[in-house]
Amino acid sequence: MSGQPSIRDTFFEECEELLEALVEGLADMEDPDHSKETVNAVFRAVHSIKGGAGAFGLDELVHFAHTFETVMDKVRSDTLDVDPELLRLFQRSGDQLADLVEAARDDRDPNRDIQVVVLAELQKYLGDEDEEEEIEFDAMGLDFGGPLDLTDISDDSSEPSSQMISIRFVPKRSLFENGHEPLLLFDAIAELGTLTVSADISAVPDFDEFDSDEPHIVWELTLETDESETVLHEVFEFVDSLCDITITVHRNESASEPPPAVVDLGLPEEPVAPEPSSDPTAAEPLAKPVAVASPSSPSSAASAAAPAADRDHRGPKPTLRVDLDRVDRLINTVGELIINQAMIVQRIEELDLPSGANLTNELEAYKLLARDIQEGVMAIRAQPVKPLFQRMSRIVREASDATGKSARMVTVGDSTEVDKTVIERLADPLTHMVRNAVDHGLETPEKRIAAGKDEVGTIRMSAAHRSGSVFIEIGDDGAGLNRPRILETAINKGLVSPEADLTETEIDNLLFLPGFSTASEVSNLSGRGVGMDVVKNAVQALGGRVSITSTPGKGTTFTIVLPLTLAVMDGFVISVAQETMVIPIASILETVTPNARDLHRIGLNGEVLRVRGRYVPIVDVAHNLGLERNSDSNGNGVLLLVETEMQELNALRVEAIHDQRQVVIKSLESNYGRIPGVSAATILGDGKIALILDPEELVKLNSGDVAPMPIIANQEELHHAAHT
């Protein structure tokens, strides 16, 4: 069975879901008023992992899950009370279970050092009586539940030579009620050798006093077989307490006369009259319709209420597994639909139809439908951040163990849905930030107590949708950023000049500079050669940005703002040097049509805009893209105020703003490469391509931070040089 990779894969997929349910259940158990169903759900999650793991021979996982489950079972049966210590052990056990699952999936060794410790702690709750209870993994339930009536067994049954076995079989009413069928039993026995069956119906009463509930039949069977008697016991395994069986073995006798019989059934022929009439179902046929979910039945009423109460926090929702490629193809096609719709709108506008034409309404409906389809398709890729957050709570525990700090994790809005790719690519940055938060953000328990804080620090993760973006925050209630030290480090590393007069925000943002992460700060935990610059780059690659707020003594919060989807974006359609371009609305704080008196020249080429008493550098977009600014454009154009990641204000100068619309993002990189100042392209209603500008990079281009020519250009220059 282990040779079925697809089933193995589903097992690990299911494990992920179960681990999720487990973490969730354990979190719910922190509430002292948690329901019994919460405990049951946790138990079941561990239990199901164990059950599946057994099928794949994952013994280490089975063993751990079993121990975990056994302690859980004590809680479930109210023989063990949940206290914070036990709950913490459960959480750690959950982490280990996750590690074991991952290890089995990736075919690597699990982290046995921690596992042994956790197992030992679990064992403490079990005491001696349970310690020896190992799980039986016999291939089948071949053991005998209760004592069989095995009188008159004359000898050891291991001898395989032919033997005669007499069986006296008296079924009880419950045998039939439990779904057994004597004739089928006899079939099974007949497979072991030559069987002769006879029934003694002398106990069957006359028909007028017939009680169909009682079998009234005594069966006498004689089996001539080479098989050992044990095999016979297997056949009767399920019926041992549902009937009276007497087995007598006559060794080395030739086939003898069967015991006296009244009715000779001569199996395996058609069953005769007495048997069906003894079946209780014969009196009440199954044909009667059964209202299973009827609330009038107490058992189903209880169960019908349960799923409703459960619905929003556990229980598998029906899902459909779809190849991601198919979804992505669909997304592309829907992107085409949106573009096509925009094209149709434009063509119709060109027709200059009389106002109030019916077509306009239909067109509006088409637009809304296209938008609905698009949102629906994008939603397929959207997933709740919960699994991501749950992974982070594991990181918090690991980090607090490693640093000797106590920390708890609080999550808010973990049902917020984000594009699948975003979730995948956020895992590493978030891990790093969470580790940092525990390692550098939180104080030691002693310092916290001294500061009058709760000894246990809190790491808060939240996710929310706000104005077309996803906001993810990672906060700690630690000491806040040590700004003098950050500044000192940055100066020592030559990242900032000693004379620089930086605002608090500017100092905080020094953390994001490449090369800031310092040796003196490297601990065994966070210091893995990754700095916050890597985090920032990862977030930027997703079209997002990250910022910091910090209050001394209160803590630090990192905020990541991401686009809702990676495929569409709200943008202003603008013109730059007579070219139509798009700029993301999310990056624009306000638009300014400047008065000449608010514009000031600085130096040779510099120009600033005065806004509410502040002087803001002007970034000429055309100039920075190497395009000629249209000289006869209307005066000073329009300025778009943007804020960079360093919280600096800049004003982007463009010729005009034409429209505001949702555009489909088309990668330029896939067929060409990166172009400074341009993040992607889109296709407008007329089928033409418009470039999507990257304001952040335009500002950098303006200040000379980015080489204006892309890599390809440099190589081209060489190429051309070779020719001329």
Partner 1 sequence: MTTKVLAIDDSRTIRNLLRLSLETAGFEFHSACDGVEGVARFSEVNPDVVITDINMPNMDGYGVIETLRTKDKTSVPIIVLTTESSDDLKARARAAGATGWIVKPFDDTSLVSVLRRLTGHAA
Partner 2 sequence: MQPTPEASEGKTFKFVAFSAGSQSYCLEITQIREIRRWAAVTALPHTPSDVLGVMNLRGAVIPIFDLAARFGLGKTPDNERNVVIVAAAGGNTIGLLVESVSEILSVNTDTIQQTPDIKSEATRNSIQGVIAIDEEMIRVVNLDAVLGADAGIAA
Q: Which of 30, 155, 177, 372 binds partner 1 (CB under 8 A)?
A: 177
Q: In this complex, which beta carbon is closest to partner 2, that of residue 104 or of residue 574? A: 574
Q: How far is the CB of 468 from partner 2 (least distance, A)?
A: 24
Q: Least distance (Å) from partner 2 to the CB of residue 720?
A: 7
Q: Is 161 helix (H, G, I), strand (E, B) or coil?
A: coil
> Does 136 help bind partner 1 (rule: CB under 8 A)?
yes
Please, which residue, 171 or 677, has the CB nearer to partner 2?
Answer: 677
Q: Residue 586 carries which side chain, given as an amino acid letter?
A: A
CA 403/CA 526 separation, integer angstroms: 10
Listed as own residue / partner, the contacts of 529-534 with beta carbons closer than 8 Å and 24 or more positions apart are 530/432, 532/432, 532/433, 532/436, 534/429, 534/432
Query: Is there binding between residue 668 and partner 2 (CB under 8 A)?
Result: yes
CB of 643 to partner 1, least distance (A): 48
| Choices 274-282, 543-551, 660-668, 693-701; region in contact with partner 1 by CB under 8 A | 274-282
Q: Is 190 in the site for partner 1 (CB under 8 A)?
A: no
- Total residues contacting partner 1 (rule CB under 8 A)? 66
List the one residue from 159, 240, 533, 579 that touches partner 2 (CB under 8 A). Answer: 579
Minimum distance of partner 1 from residue 123's CB (angstroms): 19
What is the per-residue binding string for partner 2 in 533-572, x denoting contact by CB under 8 A?
----------------------------------------
> Judging by beta carbons within 10 Å of its beta carbon (0-12, 13-18, 19+), is residue 510 exposed, middle or buried?
buried
Span from 489-497, 602-610, 650-658, 715-723 in contact with partner 2 (CB under 8 A): 715-723
Question: Please, are residues 692 and 678 in contact by the beta-carbon 8 Å criterion?
Answer: yes
The pair of structure tokens assigned to 362 is 């239909």
Minimum separation from the CB atom of position 49 to partner 1 (A) = 9
Angle (CA) 450-454-455 rounded to 5° is: 70
Determine the Cα–Cα distance for residues 46 and 95; give it in Å rounded to an integer.
12
| Residue 63 binds to partner 1 (criterion: CB under 8 A) | no
Number of residues near partner 2 (by CB under 8 A): 43
| Tokens found for residue 273 | 């009259």
469 binds, among partner 2, partner 1, none (CB under 5 to 8 A by kind): none
Q: What value does the CA radius of gyration of the chain take, rounded to a whole number of Å?
A: 38
Among 310, 424, 488, 669, binds partner 1 (CB under 8 A): 310
Tell me: does residue 628 bind partner 2 (CB under 8 A): no
CB of 606 to partner 2, least distance (A): 21
Site mask, partner 2, residues 688-707, x = CB under 8 A? Answer: xxxx----------------
Q: Say if residues 119 and 112 touch (Cβ distance below 8 Å).
A: no
Residues forming beta bridges with residue 474, ordered by sequence position: 461, 558
In the list 16, 34, 51, 493, the residue contacting partner 1 (rule: CB under 8 A) is 51
**What one-character-per-residue DSSP string does 364-390 give?**
HHHHHHHHHHHHHHHHHHEEESHHHHH
Q: Which of 205, 266, 280, 515 binds partner 1 (CB under 8 A)?
A: 280
Query: Which phi and psi (to 5°) does residue 238 adopt?
Result: -75, -15
Cβ proximity to partner 2: between 542 and 561 the closer is 542
CA atoms within a 13 Å half-sphere pointing along the CA-CB vector of 521: 22
| 613 contact, one of partner 2, partner 1, none, CB 5-8 Å limit per kind | none
Question: Which of partner 1, partner 2, none interacts with 595 (beta carbon under 5 to 8 A by kind)?
Answer: none
The 19-48 site mask, x for binding partner 1 (CB under 8 A), equals: ---------------------xx-xx--xx
**3-class secondary structure per residue, 471-520:** EEEEEECCCCCCHHHHHHHHHHCCCCCCCCCCCHHHHHHHHHCCCCCCHH
What b/e sequence results for 675-706 when a residue is b if at least 16 CB atoms lie within 10 Å of its CB, and e otherwise?
Answer: bbbbbbbbbbbeeeebbbbbbbbbbbbbeeeb
Name which of residues 316 to 375 contact partner 1 (CB under 8 A): 316
CA-CA distance, 60 to 75, in Å (whole number)? 23
Single-letter code of the amino acid located at 603:
G
Token pair 């893995």 is found at 528
Q: Which is nearer to partner 2, 98 or 683 (CB)?
A: 683
Residue 90 in tokens:
């459960």
Q: How far is the CB of 302 from partner 1 (least distance, A)?
A: 8
Task: Give residues 328-387 in contact with partner 2 (rule: CB under 8 A).
Answer: 332, 335-336, 339
| Ramachandran sector of residue 468 (left: φ over 0; alpha: ψ -120 to 50; beta: rest) | left
Residue 503 has phi, psi (to 5 degrees) of -75, 170
Binding mask 232-251 for partner 1 (x = CB under 8 A): ---x-xx--xx---------
Q: Which stretch binds partner 2 (CB under 8 A): 147-155, 187-195, 557-565, 673-681?
A: 673-681
Among residues 627, 646, 649, 657, the one that binds partner 2 under rule CB under 8 A? 627
> Could you identify the residue written with the tokens 């719709």?
341
DSSP annotation string for 53-64: HHHTT-HHHHHH
Report the residue from 51, 387, 445, 710 that binds partner 2 according to the rule CB under 8 A: 710
Could you give phi then psi for residue 493, rounded to 5 degrees?
A: -90, 0
Binding site for partner 2 (CB under 8 A): 332, 335-336, 339, 579, 625-627, 666-678, 681, 683, 687-691, 708-717, 719-720, 722-724
Binding site for partner 1 (CB under 8 A): 1, 4, 7, 10-11, 13-14, 40-41, 43-44, 47-48, 50-52, 54-55, 57, 135-141, 143, 145-146, 176-181, 183-185, 187-188, 235, 237-238, 241-242, 279-281, 284, 286, 288-290, 292-293, 297, 299-300, 303-304, 306-307, 310, 314-316
